[in-house]
Amino acid sequence: MKNPVIVLMIALLGIPFAVAGEDPIQQREELMEETRDALKPLGAMAKGERDFDAEVVNASFAVWKRAGAQFGDLFPEGSESGGGTEAKSTIWTDREGFDRALAEFNEAVDKAMAAQPGSVDELKPVLGGVTKTCKGCHDGYRVKDD
Amino acid sequence: MRGRKRAVVGALLILIGAFWWFSRPVPLSEEDLPDHLPDPANGERIFHAGGCASCHAAPGAESRDRDVLSGGLALDSPYGVFSVPNISPGMKHGIGDWEPLDFANAMLRGISPAGRHYFPSFPYTSYARMSISDVLDLKAFLDTLPASDQENAPHQMVFPFGFRRALGIWKRLYLDQNFVMAIDQEDALLERGRYLVEGPGHCGACHTPRNRVGAPRLDQWLSGAPVMEGEGRVPDITAEGLADWSEGDIGFYLETGMDPDFDVVGGDMVKVQENMARLPAEDRQAIAAYLKRAGTGAH
């Protein structure tokens, strides 16, 4: 997934997703994985490990835009446990807060897209705005066990 | 018969007396305070290193409101529910009327201005390793923050942990101002890292497992522990636990919240990371340098 071409292809084509009857735990874990994979090249740019590339940046934003539109449906009642889920019970006991945290992510992604960062120095604050909303949700709605 | 009764009563009295003596608070006195002009700017740096706002800001407070250290957060533990107190400069319920000596005793000895033991949910076992001048600077910075007159809620302790006097014995056993990890050569960066991690940063409060009476197990320093307030595990942050992390990775994580796999920080570490992000880069580097050596020289 580090290959920018692959990232771009995923963004352009979109992954055929949400096949009816598929396990929501598996689906959301895959979607979360994609979300994180889209962050990898951008994080590496911020870290100074790779050169800034606007196309790669836009491709990642597109992945997040799509993921953000889907996450809300992937935590139905009955998917609270199993499949090695890291989802915390608070998602179901405080659905409103969870939905709000997701909405904040979507807003941050929209802002990032509108900002059109053209250099790593412009990317850093934009990226910080998005990852802040990742934390916002990981803070109260995810359990880490390693 | 009467003689035996007397002997028993006498032995009991001696025991109680010994308990009372060994459990007494041993505060600092004015002579222990250095002649020091407090520097609130350094105090702010210590404030972020210690993450005071993480516990003492009102629960759920955002951005600027996090400067109002009104307390009120409930910390659930096997020993009871601790209610985090108001440490704003409020005169009535805050610490606005505290003398520098009062504050030093709270931080370094875990003793209140009234001379009572604090519960170690307030992590003075770590703060005891701080320099007095940093403690005084911190107080000077806290005094610049907004005052709150929010009243403190009482702790709700599980029997028998509510008996504060017994904490004097606990402190004799576990309150140790010596550093945990030995550093052999003179290395200013490493020394700074050790100071931040073991002192104000109180990383061991969550990352080190505790024994049955809640004291950190120094033989398993920073090697990870169950989350005290719920599900999950606090990770191992010794050199072994962080084997896949470079020092640069640790610094970048503390600055941005992204780990080497670009997973984004979660749980209680979010607030810690955001505090660490406000430190100068050299402090994060120092912490990284220390952690990459932790677990190897601990006693």
Residue-wise pLDDT for A52-64, tens only, equals: 999 999 999 999 9
Which B residues 192-231 touch A at CB under 8 Å? 231
Helix axes B269-276, B247-256, angle to 10 degrees: 100
Neighbours of B215 (CB within 10 A): 17
Asked if B265 and A142 come within 8 Å (Cβ–Cβ), the reply is: no
Residue of B245, B249, B262, B270 to mutate when probing chain A, most A C-beta within 10 A: B262
CA-to-CA distance for B102 and B112, rounded, in angstroms? 7
Each residue's pLDDT tens digit, B105-126: 999 999 999 999 999 999 999 9
In this model, does residue A84 exceed pLDDT 90? Answer: no
Confidence check on the interface: ipTM exceeds 0.90, yes or no:
no
**For B7-60, what is each residue's pLDDT tens digit?**
999 999 999 999 999 999 999 999 999 999 999 999 999 999 999 999 999 998
CA-to-CA dists, residue A115 to A57, A125, A127, B125, angstroms: 11, 10, 11, 47
At A19 the pLDDT is 45
Contact list, A131 vs chain B (CB under 8 Å): 256-258, 264
Q: Buried (b) or exposed (e) across B32-47, using 16+ Cβ within 10 A?
A: ebeeeebbbebbbbbb
What's the pTM?
Answer: 0.89
Question: What confidence tier does A21 reach under pLDDT thresholds 50, 70, 90?
Answer: low
At A17, the pLDDT band (50, 70, 90 cuts) reads very low
Cα nearest neighbour of B262 on chain A: A40
**Chain B residues touching A146 at Cβ < 8 A:** 233, 235
State the pLDDT at residue A20.
Answer: 46
* Strand ranges (E), chain B: 74-77, 80-83, 156-157, 225-226, 233-234
Contact check, Cβ <8 Å, B233/A135: no
Cβ contact B257–A139 (<8 Å): no
Other beta carbons within 10 Å of B176: 14
Pick from B232, B252, B257: CB nearest A144: B232
CB atoms < 10 A from the CB of B248, how many? Answer: 14
Interface contact B231-A36, CB threshold 8 A:
no
CATH number of A4-141: 1.20.120.10
Query: Residue B106 has which token pair?
Result: 């709270």
- DSSP 3-state assignment of B5? helix
pLDDT of residue B295 exceeding 90, the answer is no
Query: Do A99 and A24 form a contact (C-beta atoms < 8 A)?
Result: no
Instruction: Identify which of B41, B198, B56, B183 has the alpha carbon closest to the alpha carbon of residue B128.
Output: B198
In a mutational test of the B interface, the residue from A105, A133, A138, A142 whose CB has the highest number of chain B CBs within 10 Å is A138
Cβ proximity of B82 and B74 under 8 Å: yes
Question: pLDDT tens digit string along A100-144?
Answer: 999 999 999 999 999 999 999 999 999 999 999 999 999 889 998
- Chain A, chain B: beta-carbon pairs less than 8 Å apart: 60
pLDDT for the residue numbered B297: 47
Q: Residue B86 carries which DSSP code? A: P
Q: How confident is the model at residue A146, as a pLDDT?
A: 60
Residue-wise pLDDT tens digits, B184-214:
778 999 999 999 999 999 999 999 999 999 9
Is B264 in the A-facing interface, judged by CB distances under 8 Å? yes
